[in-house]
Structure 1
Amino acid sequence: MTVTAFDKDVDSLTLTFVVELPIGMERAWQFWADPRTLERWWGPPSWPATVTQHDFVPGGSTRYFMTGPDGDTSHGWWTITELEPPRLLAFEDGFSDVDGTPIAEMPTTRARVTFEPLEAGTRMTIASTCASREQFDQLIHMGVEEGMTQALSQLDALIDEEVAREE
């Protein structure tokens, strides 16, 4: 699996990642729906995620933290706004303090994840839109392109494990 495209659209304040997966849409959907699977890829390898809450329903909340190489933690939250399994997931995404309270000074995005069938798998598109140019620039400065690309590359190992189990 590869990130086949990345777009940084300053006009729409949107970052878009496109990934092609050699699995069906239902299996790709589980990368988001199952919290134990989600935490295996959501953070970059040097900042693995731990999901502490995952109410995967419209209006539901996800809480997680990522742990850096020096033991530092960064906390985050989602509020799920739309679910149409296995085609669409939309959520608000932001940073929080250790208690889960959103940090107003940090960027918040509206994320939209779509799944499309391909002849040999699924195209997953993740589009995250910022509320302001300042937040957009802040995410770019924080290295979201590199971090998300590294995080998504971890899906390869999950797919390989699944294939090995089936053999």
Structure 2
Amino acid sequence: MPITSVATDTDAYTLTVVADFTVPLRRLWDAYADPRQIERFWGPPEYPSTFTRHDAVVGGVSTYVMIGPDGERSGGYWEWEAVDAPHSFVVRDGFTNEDGTPNTDFPSVRMEFAFAETALGSRLTTTSHFGSLEALEQLKAMGMEEGMRAAMAQIDAVVEDLQAFAAGRATEVQLLGDTQARVSRIIRGSVEQVWQAHVDPSLLGRWQLGPDGWSMPVCEYGAEVGQQLRTEWQNDESGERFGFAGVVVEAAPPRRLVTTERMISPQNPDGAGSPETLNEMTPTPVDGGTLLAYVITYPDAEVREAVLATGMAEGMETGYQRLEQVVLAG
């Protein structure tokens, strides 16, 4: 059990939890910054969470849902107010309604997470600030303290699992709910380098080529909201050609890019009638490089299954290897 103390201050309206771990500070920080990891412990074991968005940057937002053993759902959000990696971050934590909007029937909490080195590893001090004594007592009565104890008891297993989250692993796909998928990979490069490689057409054309023998004769890309996007690939031997078109919906360089995407072809140059996806790209600095996470929202489960069955993850892995070896290495 990592928790070493829990203290309630009814004058300051705070709940402070101190937990100690036998891992380096950076490893503990990454467990919170990486959506693949935090969802393995943010919530009691019987209420596992799924993070559909996780922006570990000032002004960012995280959204998650915890699903109980009988299928009951409880949604939550974080609004990131301060980040000093890998030493501290501050979020506003609250509940959400079924449509993802804040649930004002319950109080939100300002949570400060402070990471410090110790002789045996690292310590995390989590201080929850409530707006009033009534809010503190309300959330404590709902089992907040017990929930935090149960949730944090799971962190040891996550931070000790170095292999599952280390740099060097191939591109991975995780299904989120009925219509989303998260594609993740650690890229050996800085956040700025990875961002530029994804929005600069001159760089995209050097690595996002797919299998050998394919080229990208059309690459119109950028990161301005409203900008039209178009990429086309060509098999230089057979002449076969396809591509994607879309638009930039949201951009917060170098940490978040949201675009739409639909498939195009010579027979359907505008992609009319093609299923459209929403792609959310989030580069996050972690040990070993940058965790690149794509959350892709499909029109329905059938389209998601069909796209993943094309070998999308394998094709992306080929591109990421080329990105590291050709662009970032030289």
**TM-score, L = length of structure 1:** 0.94
Match of 1:140 in 2: 140
RMSD: 1.7
Could you list the runs of 4 or more consecutive aligned residues of structure 1 that deviate by over 2 angstroms after TM superposition? 159-166
State the partner residue of 2:67.
67
Q: Could you tell me how far apart the structure 1 residues matched to 2:131 and 2:115 are?
A: 24
- Separation in structure 1 between the aligned mates of residue 35 and residue 78 of structure 2, nearest angstrom: 13
User: What's the offset of the Cα at 1:57?
Assistant: 0.8
For 1:125, what is the secondary structure of its paired residue? strand
Map of 2:113 onto structure 1: 113
Task: Quote the Cα distance in structure 1 between the aligned partners of 2:163 and 2:127.
Answer: 28
Alpha-carbon distance in 2 for matches of 1:75, 1:111: 17
Counterpart secondary structure, 1:23: coil
Whether 1:161 and 2:165 are equivalent positions in the alignment is no
Equivalent pair of 2:23/2:160 in contact (CA under 8 Å): no
2:15 aligned partner: 15
- Residue number in structure 1 paired with 2:40: 40
SS at match of 1:145: helix
Give the 3-state SS of the residue equivalent to 1:83 in structure 2. strand
Distance in 2 (CA, whole Å) between partners of 1:163 and 1:149 is: 26
Question: Which amino acid in the other structure matches residue 24 of structure 1?
Answer: P
Unaligned runs of 5+ in 2: 167-330
Contact 2:89 2:114 in 1 (8 A): yes
What's 1:25 paired with? 25
- Deviation of the 1:161 alpha carbon: 2.5
Counterpart residue number, 1:4: 4
2:100 is aligned with 1:100: yes
**Partner-residue secondary structure (3-state), 2:40:** coil
SS at match of 2:162: helix
Higher mean C-alpha deviation, range 153-162 or range 55-64 = 153-162
Which has the higher Rg, Structure 1 or Structure 2?
A: 2
What TM-score comes out, normalization by structure 2 length?
A: 0.49
Structure 1 match to 2:209: none
Equivalent residue number for residue 49 of structure 1:
49
Higher relative contact order (Cα pairs below 8 Å, separated by 6+ residues):
1
CA contact (8 A) 2:27 2:159 kept: no
1:100 CA displacement:
1.8
Q: What is the aligned-residue identity percentage?
A: 40
User: What amino acid maps onto 1:35 in structure 2?
Assistant: P
